[in-house]
Structure 1
Amino acid sequence: MQRALSALVLAALVAAPTHVLAWGSSGHRMVGEAAARALPTEVPGFLRSQAAVAEIGELSREPDRSKGAGKVHDHDRDAAHFVDLDEAGKVLGGPAFLPFQATKADYETALRAAGLDMWKAGYLQFSIIDRRQQLTSDFAYWRVLKAAEANPKWKAHRAWFKTDRLRREGLILRTIGELSHFVGDGSQPLHVSVHFNGWGDYPNPNGYSTARLHGPFESDLVKTRVRAADVHAKVAPLRVCGCSLEKRTADYLLATGQLVIPFYELEKAGGLAPNDPRGPAFATQQLAVGASELRDVIVESWRASLDSKVGWRPVAVRDVLAGTVDPYPNLYGID
């Protein structure tokens, strides 16, 4: 019965006209765990525990696991996992991918002006930026709570600081899981291309496959032929770019986009066939790219949090760490 249900699910994915799940559970778990294992000691210790590594791996799958909650939920969130770029660097042949619009609303306006629908074009770039901004804020709160908890001048509220810090640690793990998912999506070439499930109805002088390759590549192949240890082994050294959030996100997605043609060339040469090692090698490399990027942006978010403000009315993280401002009223709430 289980095999029959699996066959029905696969048939449904193959028949679906829209994007299918990214990397599948196995791939997303590998990205999250590999990134967490590669975190440097400068980040909070709770993130580097075995429990946290496992939790991040599981939470990396959550944006896909939430699918099916309802029409409003799914319609709004499905497009968060991809952005359809053509060979000219335009979104669905409409507005240019770069420079990024200031907000997702501005992006939607630009697409509508070109007669396009954002929920068909995708907005992966904004998904990554949104979760990165949230993670920086989460880290800022953690820094403040940790410092306040340890400051003897503020011991009257120490129990509350500790409880809220532990609460924030749970939120940080969830935010990293969501960020992991979207960063992982961004390492899969078919998630940044109009050719997302076969070449599609576009000029095709090289005779690339029009078959639905998406699911079989990122799910079936990864689950059966990619090893987590191989992904971990290929995680790159830490690279902090010192650039804007938008630039890093753009560079990352465009680099993945450069692999769309090589992917189709690989398929055309038989690289995705059973027992051919080239398909698993390609998937392993891209999963490691996703894990490396995730580890890097976690570190960047941690460093950026030092210069943030938290609470209402906002207090500077550095002021709390210096012991000059008791953050309790601003964190507990002065309404």
Structure 2
Amino acid sequence: MKRLLIAAVAALALAAPAAQVEAWGNTGHRLIGMAAIRALPDDLPAFLRSPEAAAAIGELSREPDRWKGAGQPHDRERDTAHFVDMTDDGRIMTEAGLSIDALPRLKSEYDAALQTAGIDVDDAGYLPYAIMDAWQQLVRDMAYVRVLTAQANRETDPGKKAWYLSDLKRREALTLRDLGVLSHYIGDGSQPHHTSIHYNGWGDYPNPEGFTNSRQTHGLFEGAFTSRVASLQSVEAGMAAPVLTGFDLKGRTVAYLKTTLGQVIPFYQLEKAGGFRDANNAPDPRGAAFVNARLSAGAAELRDLTILAWRASGEASIGWPAVKVAEVEAGAVDPWLSMIGED
């Protein structure tokens, strides 16, 4: 891949609130997933809010990186989900690229628009679509959890009840896995290098402030420095209050990525000022604050999108023939045929 990826693997001591591990590729994703789960409100299901779930999401948040190396077409179709390269004013790759504010409804339409502008999607990345796709999958998972939970609690037939309970366990496991995937892409979207054409040094662009052109910049930021300063305690302390009103999936995704894009120049200014080097044999506190603030932004976004997915799942229809989740939860519909399948 064109990006410098850090693959170091380290153990996370879950009992330590300020646990640190090596490389944002692991540290950032683990901490974002854990912090988000630990911040979920009580009206979400208990299986999502347990310490075991926080630990699981921390690990599953790394999953899309662990998929790599399977071969083609697997890798090529997934590698470019991790980023979207934008110009400083929010256009995809070049000034000829479409604006992030004008994302089409479908990824195929996005690909076509890029090709019209002479841009290869493999170069540009499609992170916004990865985030939206993962969120929509989470909503489906949660809708099934709702139906299975409601019906298992009221079912009087022993055979059917046993099936509902077994399928609920399967669905809970899938929900955790898919929440981990969403967490990964949200985490990618909190890292400024994953939203910018300046992903490995400033690059061959106008550079009036004299920012570094070192291609090691990305890796050094994600690696040794971040492994020394990132902590669960700091991430949790920096999380903003939930923002849950006026939700629009595409609009929310675009706003999130644009906010991260806005941190690219501050990153390079801080790098130039020495903020990501050690000072007096200790990490520079300015750089430490920057790292933890970015992780906090990711954790807060994942927390909010998880809550919003749960809310949206209550309005869904699932199964075949389709049943409304709300009607099953109200006891107005028996979902057996829709869940087990008519054939």
Q: Which one of the candidate residues 141, 147, 150 is aligned to 2:150?
A: 147
Residues 312, 333 of structure 1: 8 Å contact kept? yes
Matched residue SS, 1:98: helix
Question: Counterpart of 2:72 in structure 1: which amino acid?
Answer: K
Matched residue SS, 1:42: coil
Residues 134, 182 of structure 2: 8 Å contact kept? yes
Kindly indicate whether residue 301 of structure 2 is the aligned counterpart of residue 300 of structure 1.
no
In 2: Cα distance, 1:152 partner to 1:69 partner: 43
Question: Counterpart of 2:304 in structure 1: which amino acid?
Answer: D
Q: Which residue of 2 aligns with 1:131?
A: 134
* TM-score relative to the length of structure 2: 0.90
Q: Which moved more, 1:284-293 or 1:218-227?
A: 218-227
Q: Which moved more, 1:300-309 or 1:197-206?
A: 197-206
Kindly indicate whether residue 197 of structure 2 is the aligned counterpart of residue 194 of structure 1.
yes
How many corresponding residue pairs?
A: 320
Question: Counterpart of 2:47 in structure 1: which amino acid?
Answer: F
Q: Which residue of 2 aligns with 1:184?
A: 187
* TM-score relative to the length of structure 1: 0.92
Q: Aligned-pair distance for 1:241?
A: 3.1
Q: Which residue of 2 aligns with 1:242?
A: 246
Question: Counterpart of 1:77 in structure 2: which amino acid?
Answer: R
Q: Aligned-pair distance for 1:319?
A: 1.2
Matched residue SS, 1:55: helix
Q: Aligned-pair distance for 1:98?
A: 1.6
In 2: Cα distance, 1:58 partner to 1:172 partner: 14
Question: Counterpart of 1:258 in structure 2: which amino acid?
Answer: G
Write the deviation string for residues 84-124 of structure 1: whole angstroms up to 9, x where unpaired: 00022210111221222111111001001111111110000
1:41-52 residue pairs with structure 2 within 5 A? 41-52=42-53
Residues 225, 277 of structure 2: 8 Å contact kept? no
Kindly indicate whether residue 219 of structure 2 is the aligned counterpart of residue 219 of structure 1.
no
Question: Counterpart of 1:255 in structure 2: which amino acid?
Answer: T
Matched residue SS, 1:291: helix
Kindly indicate whether residue 30 of structure 2 is the aligned counterpart of residue 29 of structure 1.
yes
Write the deviation string for residues 108-149 of structure 1: whole angstroms up to 9, x where unpaired: 010011111111100000010001000111000000000010
In 2: Cα distance, 1:47 partner to 1:204 partner: 46
1:66-145 residue pairs with structure 2 within 5 A? 66-93=67-94, 94-145=97-148
Kindly indicate whether residue 277 of structure 2 is the aligned counterpart of residue 273 of structure 1.
yes
Q: Which residue of 2 aligns with 1:57?
A: 58
Matched residue SS, 1:186: helix
In 1: Cα distance, 2:272 partner to 2:155 partner: 67
In 1: Cα distance, 2:66 partner to 2:238 partner: 27
Q: Which moved more, 1:213-222 or 1:289-298?
A: 213-222
Question: Counterpart of 2:298 in structure 1: which amino acid?
Answer: G
Q: Aligned-pair distance for 1:216?
A: 1.0
Residues 229, 291 of structure 2: 8 Å contact kept? no
Q: Aligned-pair distance for 1:225?
A: 2.2
Q: Aligned-pair distance for 1:220?
A: 2.1
- Structure 1 runs not aligned, ≥5 long: 1-15
Q: Which residue of 2 aligns with 1:6?
A: none
In 1: Cα distance, 2:176 partner to 2:297 partner: 21
Residues 240, 297 of structure 2: 8 Å contact kept? yes
Could you list the structure 1 runs, at least 4 aligned residues long, displaced by more than 2 angstroms after superposition.
16-23, 152-156
In 2: Cα distance, 1:124 partner to 1:154 partner: 46
In 2: Cα distance, 1:128 partner to 1:221 partner: 27
Residues 145, 172 of structure 2: 8 Å contact kept? yes
* Change in CA separation of 1:290 and 1:64 when aligned onto 2, cut-off 3 Å: same
Q: Which residue of 2 aligns with 1:231?
A: 235
Q: Which one of the candidate residues 210, 218, 230 is aligned to 2:213?
A: 210
Q: Which moved more, 1:63-72 or 1:135-144?
A: 63-72
In 2: Cα distance, 1:278 partner to 1:115 partner: 40
Question: Counterpart of 2:53 in structure 1: which amino acid?
Answer: A
Instruction: Answer 1 or 2: which has greater helix percent.
Output: 1
In 2: Cα distance, 1:299 partner to 1:194 partner: 32
Question: Counterpart of 1:272 in structure 2: which amino acid?
Answer: F
Q: Which residue of 2 aligns with 1:314?
A: 322
In 1: Cα distance, 2:155 partner to 2:76 partner: 50
In 1: Cα distance, 2:311 partner to 2:29 partner: 25
In 1: Cα distance, 2:201 partner to 2:245 partner: 34
Q: Aligned-pair distance for 1:313?
A: 1.6
Q: Aligned-pair distance for 1:19?
A: 5.0
- Structure 2 runs not aligned, ≥5 long: 7-22
In 2: Cα distance, 1:88 partner to 1:225 partner: 30
